[in-house]
Amino acid sequence: MTSKNEKDRLIIEAIDSAIDHFGDSREELIPILNHVNRKLGYLPSEALEEISNRLKSSRSQLFSVASFYHMLSTKPRGKHVIQFCESAPCHIVGGREVWQALKEAVNLEENETSPDGKWSLITTSCLGLCGVGPVIVIDDDAYGNVTPEQIKDILAKYSD
């Protein structure tokens, strides 16, 4: 478990690098939130507070933006985030069975994070990879034509 100081340091580091990159104007809020969300895995309330100070913008405004977009999370996420495409084209080519197998393999329901902090399971809107559905994405890796039987092997690649 990271200590409070360590966590604060990581937050400041993430925000610094975001503002270095995008500047501190209000209109850059979404790129900044995206960047920090990516670095930390989610947007802790301490981070939102710090960003609100730097951008001179109210916390309520920031929270309203952070909670609007699916890809920004205000809750902690696991080390590896599994995204399952829940769109129609994946649905009709066997997505339902893959979803079932995924849930069983990591023992999670949608939007849950495993107690050991390894996995988060979320659904995503269409990734545009419809020709190779069903599609799952783990962190930045996309897997196409996934069958329920492959799930175990795919997950095993993330052994750390």
Interface pattern 79-118 for another protein (x via CB under 8 A): --------xxx-xx--------------------------
Start-to-end CA distance of the chain, whole Å, equals 16
By beta-carbon proximity to another protein, the closer residue of 11 and 135 is 135
Residue 159: CB minimum distance to another protein, A: 19
Sort strands 112-113 and 136-138 into parallel, antiparallel or unpaired: unpaired
What's the half-sphere exposure (Cβ side, CA atoms, 13 Å) at 40? 32
By beta-carbon proximity to another protein, the closer residue of 8 and 105 is 105
Question: What is the Cα–Cα distance from 39 to 50, expressed in whole angstroms?
Answer: 15
Interface pattern 5-44 for another protein (x via CB under 8 A): ---------------------xxxxxx-xx----------
Question: What is the Cα–Cα distance from 94 to 114, expressed in whole angstroms?
Answer: 25
My answer on whether omega of the bond before 134 falls inside 30° of 0, hence cis, is yes
Question: What is the Cα–Cα distance from 148 to 9, expressed in whole angstroms?
Answer: 41
> Quick check: 158 binds another protein (CB under 8 A)?
no
By beta-carbon proximity to another protein, the closer residue of 12 and 71 is 71
Residue 97: CB minimum distance to another protein, A: 10
Residue 9: CB minimum distance to another protein, A: 25
Helices (H), the chain: 4-22, 29-40, 45-55, 59-66, 88-90, 96-106, 151-156
> Quick check: 140 binds another protein (CB under 8 A)?
yes
**Which residues of the chain form contacts with another protein (CB under 8 A)?**
26-31, 33-34, 64-65, 68-72, 87-89, 91-92, 124-132, 135, 140-145
